Structure 1
């Protein structure tokens, strides 16, 4: 059997190991082939895996299913993949998401337990070497504070979804106040913000609550219906960082000098940005967002190597603060 055909057969076996198995239509779509080729592939599947089952589903389509134990060994995770789970867990730990980090580590151990015994020693040795090599990678600088009990309450409320009762101290508050919040998600950055609606206000405005300023959190039994029209990713894309202000939202245009252009092209300033390289080597970056103060904080690091073309309010804010003596760029 040609190598490419063997790879395709293993891919088909993986598809067929799912609970519902695989149909001819799905094979045609996955491998971009005609019906006769799909039929030949199922014939080969049965020859290589004799205990393949076939049945007709509720819609009248014939499906093939391979017992998962027969294909598990072919798809055991690599050392790189298992090490990536550990590194992801460490990253979540540094971001204060200790509960999620623990879940990733549990998944990692579960995967290793389910692996064939003969594969496990080699995997563990390779994983240890990889982690040792990658152990020099760290994220320096300030990190958000975290409280596992509050993180756990937020996670539980988000899954419900249930109303979350928090003792929260806003910037203008002398002491924490009790708020009942309908949680919709978390924004992760230099600080973590819980996004949600304040029950007491009775409006549909999404508000941000700094997680480190939540002194206590309790999941209530008050279930609420999420607004299906709300998209957290689209919502986050309306800001440069985490702060949002509808009055500030609009076109943002920055021009980087030819000297800074190579660095700017390696940056993603906004998920929906567009870039344009001019004849002189300078680079124009465009996106739409709000959060002028957070933009100022970032632009300061670029010194006089960036010019704000839009909006004028942002250009006025950075005027006089564009230094030319920084020895490096972000």
Structure 2
């Protein structure tokens, strides 16, 4: 058996060790093969692992299931996988998801405790080199200061979901004002916004609270139900960044100059964007979103290499700030 076939067999064994096992259609999708090849792979799995069980599921498909203990000794993690876990922990901490980072760190420690004797030191050296190359040893850049107690309370209430009592100081307030809110989710971007309903207001509107402006937060014992029609991913797409405005929401059209067009093609400005190549070499980007101020912050970095075609309110905001002396593009 070739090395590539051996690694494919191990991948298949890992798929089969799941609670439901694996079926032929899943093998075809995972390995990009035809039905006969999938059948041969199952035959090889059964030969290599005699404990493989076969059964017919509720969907009338044939499934093959392998006890996880049969391959446990073969599943030692790689340095790349350990580095990916450490990277994820750092990203969660940067986003203020402290409790999630702590849980992933505990899982990481459990994985390392199960490493075969003698392999831990070698993997640690390789992992450290990868993390240093990725820049996570010391990552610069401005970001809001985190409040671990607030972050923990928000995270816990989102999982309930439970009502949350917050002391919030908006930019219009001289002192923090206490509110009881029903939290729906977090919008992550240049700033973090808690999407929540103020229980004292009966208009049913969702409001956004900047997490760094929440002075204190306390989980309450009462719970609530988030409407089934609410999907945070769909809701988030109504904004360019993390700020929402129903009044601003609408079509946005940017034209990048021929000089910047190829560079702009390597950006995803918004999940709903559509791009159009122009005959003069320029590039049109269209999407629907709100958050004109956050758009301005990004557009400024492109200098005079981008023009706002629509809406006119956004065009007026950036027209006096399109510099021509930036030495590079974002």
Q: Confirm or deny a common fold (TM above 0.5).
A: yes
Confirm whether residue 314 of structure 1 aligns to residue 306 of structure 2. no
Partner of 2:16: 16
Cα distance in structure 1, aligned partners of 2:106 and 2:28:
37
Structure-2 separation of matches of 1:30 and 1:264: 33
1:218 is paired with a residue whose SS is strand
Q: 1:67: which partner in 2?
A: 67
> Which residue number in structure 1 is paired with residue 156 of structure 2?
156
Equivalent-residue separation in structure 2 for 1:282 and 1:240 (angstroms):
22
How many pairs align? 329
For the residues of structure 1 that align with 2:149 and 2:91, how far apart are their CA atoms? Answer: 19
**With structure 1 as the length reference, what TM-score do the two structures score?**
0.89
In the alignment, is the contact (CA less than 8 A) between 1:142 and 1:190 conserved in 2? no
Cross-structure match for 1:182: 182
1:145-294 equivalences under 5 Å are 145-294=145-294
Distance 1:136 1:165 in 2: 35
CA-to-aligned-CA distance 1:284-323 (integer Å, 9 cap, x gap): 1111111112222222222222111111111122222222
Measure the CA separation in 2 of the matches of 1:55 and 1:134: 45
Separation in 1, partners of 2:220, 2:42 = 52
Deviation of 1:38 after TM superposition, in Å, equals: 5.5
Q: Give the superposition deviation at 1:40.
A: 4.9
Structure 2 residues without counterparts, runs of 5 or longer: none
- Aligned mates of 1:2, 1:126 — CA distance in 2: 26
Render the CA deviation track for 1:230-268: whole Å, top value 9, x for unaligned. Answer: 111111111112222212111111111122223322222
- Work out the CA distance in 1 between the residues paired with 2:86 and 2:245: 37
Query: How many Å apart are 1:147 and its aligned residue?
Result: 1.0
- Aligned 8 A contact 2:255 2:283 in 1: yes
Q: TM-score by structure 2 length? A: 0.89
Counterpart-to-counterpart distance in 2, 1:163 and 1:320: 45
Per mean C-alpha deviation after superposition, the further-off stretch among 298-307 and 117-126 is 117-126
Measured in 1, the distance between the counterparts of 2:39 and 2:325 equals 69
Q: Which residue of 1 aligns with 2:83?
A: 83
Secondary structure class of the residue paired with 1:15: helix
Counterpart-to-counterpart distance in 1, 2:44 and 2:303: 64
From the superposition, tell whether residues 198 and 9 of structure 1 become closer, same or farther in structure 2 (CA, over 3 Å). same
Alpha-carbon shift at residue 92 of structure 1 (Å) = 2.8
Provide closer, same or farther for how the CA distance between residues 118 and 47 of structure 1 changes in structure 2, counting only shifts above 3 A.
Answer: farther
- Could you say which residue in structure 2 is the equivalent of 1:6? 6
Structure 1 partner of 2:134:
134
Q: Deviations over 1:107-165 (max 9, x none)?
A: 22222222333543332221122223334775433211111111111111011111111
* DSSP-derived class of the 2:321 partner: coil
- How far is 1:76 from its partner? 2.7
Unmatched 5+ stretches in structure 1: none
